[in-house]
Structure 1
Amino acid sequence: MHARPTPNLRGSSLIRSPLLHGLLAVVLPTSALAAGVQIDPHADLLYRQALTFLEQAESQTSSYTLKTSTTDQDLAQQGQALGRTLAPAVTLLKKAVALNHPAAQYRLALYYITYLPAAQIPDAACPLLEGSMTQGFAPAALGIENWCPTFSRSEYRTALESVQSTATLYAPYYPQPAVRLPCHREQPQGLAMQWGRQRDYQAEVYRLLASTDPAQSRSYWQKAVDINGCIPAQRRLASNLY
Structure 2
Amino acid sequence: MMKQYGAEFFGTFWLVFGGCGSAVIAAAFPNVGIGLLGVSLAFGLTVVTMAYAIGHISGCHLNPAVSIGLWAGGRFPAKELLPYIIAQVFGGIAAGGVLYLIASGAPGFDVANGFASNGYGDHSPGSYSLQSALIAEVVLTAFFLVIILGATDKRAPAGFAPIAIGLALTLIHLISIPVTNTSVNPARSTGVAIYVGDWAVAQLWAFWVAPIVGAVLGAGIYRFIGGERK
Which range, TM-score by smaller chain? 0.3 to 0.5
Flag the structure with higher helix content.
Answer: 2
TM-score by length of 1: 0.31
